[in-house]
Amino acid sequence: MKTTVLLLVAAFLLASFAVFLGGKLKDGERKIRAGRQKLAKYDNWFVEIFFSDKLYAGKWELSEGEKKLSFCKVIFALSIIMCIGCIVAAILIRR
């Protein structure tokens, strides 16, 4: 009985974490999309000649943001899988 309750509490915590992380992922995707659009707007020969350091810094920050976003997506998927696993384990233990 205690194990079932513990697994259900863990599943609830993982589900709430996944909901929270899902909102943050949507915000991050929106910021990445805005960054790509801004980079495309200013990626021309004039900017490359006079402001190349800022342009390359922006490209580097964009790639770092994409890496962090993909890592967070993996964490999101793992939390969903673990939540489902906790629920299934609680059901199997209860029987």
In this predicted structure, what is the pLDDT of residue 45?
82
Q: Which two tokens stand for residue 80?
A: 């969903």
Residue 95 has pLDDT above 80, yes or no: no
Task: Please compute the mean of the pLDDT values over residues 16-36 and round it to a whole number.
Answer: 93
Task: Please compute the mean of the pLDDT values over residues 57-62 and round it to a whole number.
Answer: 90
User: What angle, rounded to 10 degrees, do the helices at 52-94 and 2-42 form?
Assistant: 160
Name the band, by pLDDT with cuts 50, 70 and 90, for residue 27. very high
Task: Please compute the mean of the pLDDT values over residues 14-22 and round it to a whole number.
Answer: 94
Q: What is the pTM of this model?
A: 0.82
CA distance 80 to 18: 7
Task: Please compute the mean of the pLDDT values over residues 40-50 and round it to a whole number.
Answer: 82
Other Cβ atoms closer than 10 A to 13: 14
